[in-house]
């Protein structure tokens, strides 16, 4: 190579290809610093934005496209805005883990105590936390985020209401995002929190067989009214087959089925009716509780449960 040899600089197409490769691992979200590192000038970045090929997102980020941001892309924006030690936490991390039928308004990013918060407001909620630990991160691709069991416990502790906390834990177990044992292990790490007892009680219910928030509400309603504790997910064998009952008071021969909207679907009506009749013919009193009834007139349905138990020999003195 001679002294007069020219240094070959990457072309615009080559620089764009290199930046696109960086963005491919980040849901096509990059920082301005990453763009400059690939040779783009500030003027070229502004030109791409003006030409509506790229979008400016937040303070530090660029989207290499102009469409709507997916949840994955929003999480990349959140972590890149938060800095190198920020990671997605709580509800948003559960969505990244595959949680379905749930939405979030703000994306929680946890940073350690003392970290500089470079971005505030909007849909990104960056907060310092004493619970920050590198071991809580999930290994693998995607935005840096907490492991599902950690995310679920924190989401429950940070929820806006006890009911939302219960819903998050129930959905996590129901959708196999994390199991009760994993959640219990993470709860043991929480020394103090106003919702610690509620979370622990909910996990015990889930371990006992509660599969949905509606079933959890029924169990709580029975406890509040002093009714005996039912058996959860009781296996019942009949001439027509084997069935799992939502609730059964085995000692009194009373069963309760909680009917969600899916029970009204035509494909389920015949099977549900045959199961109901088969169990009734075998001797149990079988009550049905539609979710709408649980919301609109719960007292009337719980009165019927008490009447059925009383008809089979239970008295309030038994609860003492």
Mean pLDDT calculated for residue range 259-287: 60
Q: CA gyration radius for the chain?
A: 27
pLDDT reading at 276 higher than 80: no
Question: Which residues make Cβ contacts (< 8 Å) with residue 183, sequence separation at least 6?
Answer: 149, 152, 153, 169, 172, 173, 203
> Is the pLDDT reported for residue 112 higher than 70?
yes
Res 182 pLDDT > 60: yes
Rounded CA gap, 207 and 180, in Å?
6
Give one word for 51, left, alpha or beta, with left for phi > 0 and alpha for psi -120 to 50: alpha
With bands split at pLDDT 50, 70 and 90, how would you rate the model's confidence at 284? confident
> What are the distances in angstroms from CA 207 to CA 90, 171, 244?
22, 13, 16
Per-residue confidence band for 7, with pLDDT thresholds at 50, 70 and 90: low
Region 217-239: mean pLDDT is 80
Crossing angle between the packed helical segments 196-208 and 180-187, to the nearest 10 degrees: 160
Residue 31: phi and psi, rounded to 5, are -95, 160
- Reported confidence tier of residue 263, pLDDT bands at 50, 70, 90: very low
Q: What tokens appear for 187 in the block? A: 């709860």
Task: Kindly report which listed range (78-82, 220-224, 283-287) carries the lowest average pLDDT score.
Answer: 283-287
* The predicted structure's pLDDT at residue 1: 47
Long-range own/partner contacts, residues 156-163 (CB < 8 A, 24 or more apart): 156/195, 156/199, 156/202, 157/190, 157/193, 157/195, 157/196, 157/199, 158/90, 158/108, 159/195, 162/195, 162/198, 163/213
* pLDDT surpassing 70 at residue 185: yes
Contacts of 300 (CB under 8 A, 6+ apart): 293
Question: What's residue 207's pLDDT?
Answer: 80
Contact 110, 127 (CB under 8 A): yes
Share of the chain above pLDDT 70, in %: 84
pLDDT digits (tens, 9 = 90+) for 229-256: 888 766 655 555 566 777 889 899 998 8
* pLDDT 10s digits, 80-104: 988 888 899 999 999 999 999 999 9
Given 3-state DSSP classes, what are the helix, strand and coil percentages for the chain, each rounded to the nearest 5?
45, 15, 35
């Amino acid at each position: 190579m001679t002294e007069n040899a020219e240094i070959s600089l990457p072309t615009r197409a080559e620089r764009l290809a290199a930046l696109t490769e960086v963005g491919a691992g980040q849901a096509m979200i990059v920082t301005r610093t990453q763009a400059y590192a690939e040779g783009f000038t500030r003027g070229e970045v502004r030109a791409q934005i003006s030409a509506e090929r790229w979008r400016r997102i937040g303070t530090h980020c660029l989207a290499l496209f102009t469409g709507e941001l997916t949840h994955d892309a929003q999480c990349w924006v959140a972590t890149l805005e938060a800095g190198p030690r920020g990671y997605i936490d709580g509800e948003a991390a559960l969505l990244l883990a595959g949680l379905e039928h749930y939405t979030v308004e703000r994306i929680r990013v946890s940073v350690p105590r003392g970290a500089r918060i470079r971005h505030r407001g909007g849909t990104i909620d960056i907060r310092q936390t004493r619970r920050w630990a590198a071991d809580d991160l999930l290994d693998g691709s995607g935005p840096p985020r907490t492991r599902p069991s950690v995310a679920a416990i924190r989401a429950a502790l940070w929820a806006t209401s006890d009911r939302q906390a219960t819903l998050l834990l129930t959905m996590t177990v129901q959708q196999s995002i994390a199991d009760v044992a994993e959640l219990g292990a993470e709860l043991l790490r929480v020394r103090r929190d106003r919702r610690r007892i509620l979370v622990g009680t909910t996990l015990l219910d889930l371990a006992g067989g509660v599969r949905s928030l509606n079933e959890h509400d029924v169990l709580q309603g029975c406890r509040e009214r002093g009714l005996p504790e039912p058996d959860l997910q009781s296996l019942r064998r009949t001439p027509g087959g084997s069935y799992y009952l939502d609730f059964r008071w085995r000692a009194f021969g009373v069963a309760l089925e909680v009917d969600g909207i899916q029970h009204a679907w035509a494909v389920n009506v015949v099977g549900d009716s045959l199961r109901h009749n088969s169990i009734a013919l075998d001797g149990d009193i079988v009550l049905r509780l539609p979710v709408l009834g649980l919301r609109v007139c719960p007292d009337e349905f719980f009165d019927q449960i008490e009447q059925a138990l009383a008809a089979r020999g239970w008295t309030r003195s038994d609860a003492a």
